[in-house]
């Protein structure tokens, strides 16, 4: 890790747009655990437009099944002996979010937090910006 | 980002963290506070190196800012993503000791009337150079000497209650767009609201900050001395503030070094023996008043190091005097900067976009 290779070095300011939220989930081949974790959150993530990236060791038996079962998620592979930290880093190279959350298969996602973040993002969307801009402009 | 809410949220702002960041995050990960009680939020302030990849290995949440705004803004964005009732701030160039986080939590738990606490560097700074060692040891010494009630806050290794932080208005991200005294200023606001801040030197971290002489001079003048002077002038608190680098002995030494410099100039021009002896007297007095610090350096690094540090320490006081003079002049001529009208207007109606518009100062005061 840390070779500076594939991640996006330069990012363009996106003032006025929503912050993109990404979720990186890492695990080491426990299909049952991975399936139950992703299944429990995928609908909520799709609804909230949260990008999901699943990072697995290469040749992990669950990688293909996860990709087939959850087409909304992106599955990326790391070295076969990658540690959880290295899997996170591999996932990080794939995401495009301004806010990136990291979970292990065994962790539960705080969906209330995620929903609150998304509500805040919606409040600050371009549409609400226009409303506020009209407040700034005052009566014409 | 586990479903269970943590007690304390750790926020680490970083720009171009490199290998230092890995050591810092590994040290946080080695905390003896149970993992489920804390969350780690790293805010990448528009780095172009491997910072986000390194941070990804340790963080629960990573916030990526597309353009650089400075640590005050970055910390505020991290707080907005956090869930803990306590907020801990660590500089990306420190390695907290394993017990640092636990000590913060225990202290704030045991003393409900204390709103914030911060620690100190240990005596083993990682950077080897003489200037780095001197500078980091000076920081350690000043913090240890000032243990107890504090008038400021230190975001290098400090924790604060979330409600107090929000009530104080967060960091002033508009005024401090680079690493300056944003934490000191926050501390003044926290104190103004009637809250207590403690400096607890048992909360320790190892500094990995590398200092070159020109960094020391520039930072002391531009990022600490001048803005701190202007802040105190604005608060009309220059004389009564006696915390950390503004202890009475520090003020006296700053005056003395300039008196000595003036007498030296007079002696050189007039060839006056009296001025020469007066110069020597002033310097001797200065050395005597700094003797506890030199004695500390001798204990830690030996007599040669302590003697070698004397010119650097005199330069430090000279620089401080210049900064105070410049800050005083700026306060009385330029006045205090205010946000531009658009920033202020955005802040007043609470409108934010991503990345959020910097907060105007009056919006949170």
pLDDT in tens, B298-323: 999 999 999 999 999 999 999 999 99
Give per-residue pLDDT as tens, B222-233.
999 999 888 888
CA distances (Å), origin B94, targets A39, B140, B237 = 39, 13, 30
Q: Specify if B44 maps to a domain.
A: yes
Q: Specify if B233 maps to a domain.
A: no
Contact state of B53 with A17 under an 8 Å Cβ cutoff: no
B300 in the same domain as B187: no
Q: Specify if B86 maps to a domain.
A: yes
- At A13 the pLDDT is 47
Look at residue B226 and give its three-state secondary structure: helix
Look at residue B2 and give its three-state secondary structure: strand
Per CB-CB distance under 8 Å, the chain A contacts of B46 are 11
Q: Specify if B226 maps to a domain.
A: no
CB B69 within 8 A of CB B177: yes
B346 in the same domain as B311: no
Domain residues for the domain of B75 are 8-210
Number of Cβ within a 10 Å radius of residue B196: 15
B317 in the same domain as B302: yes
Half-sphere CA count of B101, side-chain side, radius 13 A: 29
Per CB-CB distance under 8 Å, the chain A contacts of B80 are 120
Give per-residue pLDDT as tens, B53-112.
999 999 999 999 988 999 999 999 999 889 999 999 999 999 999 999 999 999 999 999
Query: What is the DSSP annotation of B273-319?
Result: HHHHHHHHHHHHHHHHHTHHHHHHHHHHH-HHHHHHHHHHHHHHHHH
Q: Is the pLDDT of residue B324 over 70?
A: yes
Contact state of A136 with B62 under an 8 Å Cβ cutoff: no
- At B239 the pLDDT is 63
B173 in the same domain as B80: yes
- At B182 the pLDDT is 93
Q: Specify if A112 maps to a domain.
A: yes
B135 in the same domain as B281: no
- Average the pLDDT over B348-365 and give the result: 61
Query: What is the DSSP annotation of B115-168?
Result: EEEEEEE-S--S--SHHHHHHHHHHHHHHHHT-EEESS--TTEEEEEHHHHHHH
Q: Specify if A37 maps to a domain.
A: yes
Domain total for chain B?
3
Residue at token pair 């306590």:
B86
CB neighbour list of residue B187: distance below 8 Å, 6 or more residues apart: B116, B150, B151, B152, B153, B154, B197
Give per-residue pLDDT as tens, B183-232.
999 999 999 999 999 999 999 999 999 999 999 999 999 999 999 888 88
Banded pLDDT at B365 (limits 50, 70, 90)? very low
Q: Specify if B231 maps to a domain.
A: no
Q: pLDDT exceeding 90 applies to what percent of chain A? A: 23
- At A11 the pLDDT is 44
- At A5 the pLDDT is 38
CB B244 within 8 A of CB B142: yes
Whether the pTM exceeds 0.90: the reply is: no
Q: Specify if A138 maps to a domain.
A: no
Q: Specify if B236 maps to a domain.
A: no
Q: Which residues of B34-62 are buried (b: 16+ CB within 10 A; e: fewer)?
A: eeebbbbbbbbbbbebbbbbbbbbbbbbb
Residue B177's closest CA among B365, B358, B363, B361? Answer: B358
Collect the ranges in chain A with pLDDT lower than 70.
Answer: 1-19, 118-140
- Give the residue numbers in B contacting A (CB under 8 Å), as ranges: 1-5, 19, 22, 46, 48-50, 52-54, 56-67, 80-81, 83, 345-346, 349-356
Domain total for chain A?
1
Residue at token pair 């079962």:
A69
B179 in the same domain as B32: yes
Q: Specify if B301 maps to a domain.
A: yes
Mean pLDDT over each residue of chain B, to the nearest integer: 89
Q: For A136, which residue in chain B has the nearest alpha carbon?
A: B345
Q: Specify if A17 maps to a domain.
A: no
B181 in the same domain as B157: yes
């Amino acid at each position: 890790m840390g070779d500076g290779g594939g991640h996006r070095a330069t990012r363009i300011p996106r003032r006025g747009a929503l912050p993109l939220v990404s979720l990186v989930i890492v695990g080491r081949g426990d299909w049952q655990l991975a399936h139950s974790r992703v299944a429990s959150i995928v609908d909520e993530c799709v609804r909230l437009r949260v990008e999901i990236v699943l990072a697995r060791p290469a040749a992990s038996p669950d990688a293909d099944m996860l990709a087939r079962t959850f087409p909304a998620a992106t599955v990326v592979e790391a070295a076969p002996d990658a540690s959880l930290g290295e899997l996170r880093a591999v996932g990080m190279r794939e995401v495009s979010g301004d806010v990136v959350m990291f979970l292990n298969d065994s962790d539960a996602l705080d969906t209330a937090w995620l929903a609150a973040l998304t509500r805040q993002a919606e409040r600050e969307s371009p549409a609400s910006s226009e409303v506020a801009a009209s407040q700034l402009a005052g009566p014409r | 980002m586990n479903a269970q809410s943590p007690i304390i949220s750790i926020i680490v702002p970083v720009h171009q963290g490199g290998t230092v960041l890995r050591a810092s995050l590994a040290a946080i990960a080695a905390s003896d506070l149970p993992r489920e009680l804390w969350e780690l939020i790293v805010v990448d302030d528009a780095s172009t190196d491997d910072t986000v990849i390194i941070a990804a290995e340790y963080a629960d949440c990573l916030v990526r800012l597309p353009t650089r705004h400075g640590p005050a803004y970055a910390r505020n964005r991290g707080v907005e993503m956090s869930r803990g009732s306590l907020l801990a701030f660590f500089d990306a160039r420190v390695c907290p000791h394993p017990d640092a986080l636990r000590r913060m939590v225990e202290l704030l738990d045991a003393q409900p009337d204390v709103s914030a606490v911060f620690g100190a560097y240990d005596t083993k700074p990682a950077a080897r150079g003489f200037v780095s060692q001197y500078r980091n040891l000076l920081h350690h010494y000043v913090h240890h000497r000032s243990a107890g009630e504090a008038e400021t806050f230190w975001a290098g290794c400090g924790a604060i209650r979330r409600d107090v932080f929000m009530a104080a208005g967060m960091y002033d991200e508009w005024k401090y767009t680079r690493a300056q005294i944003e934490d000191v200023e926050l501390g003044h606001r926290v104190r103004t609201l009637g809250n207590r801040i403690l400096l607890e030197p048992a909360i320790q971290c190892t500094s990995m900050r590398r200092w070159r002489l020109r960094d020391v001079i520039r930072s002391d003048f531009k990022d600490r001395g001048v803005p701190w002077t202007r802040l105190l002038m604005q608060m009309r608190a220059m004389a009564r503030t006696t915390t950390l680098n503004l202890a009475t002995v520090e003020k006296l030494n700053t005056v003395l070094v300039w008196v000595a410099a003036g007498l030296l100039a007079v002696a050189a021009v007039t060839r006056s023996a009296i001025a020469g002896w007066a110069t020597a007297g002033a310097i001797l007095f200065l050395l005597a008043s700094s003797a506890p610090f030199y004695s500390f350096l001798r204990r830690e690094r030996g007599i040669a190091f302590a003697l070698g540090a004397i010119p650097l320490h005199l330069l430090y006081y000279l620089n401080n005097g210049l900064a105070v003079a410049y800050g005083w002049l700026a306060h009385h001529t330029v006045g205090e900067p205010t946000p531009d009208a658009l920033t202020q207007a955005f802040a007043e109606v609470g409108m934010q976009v991503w990345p959020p518009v910097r907060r105007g100062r009056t919006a949170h005061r």
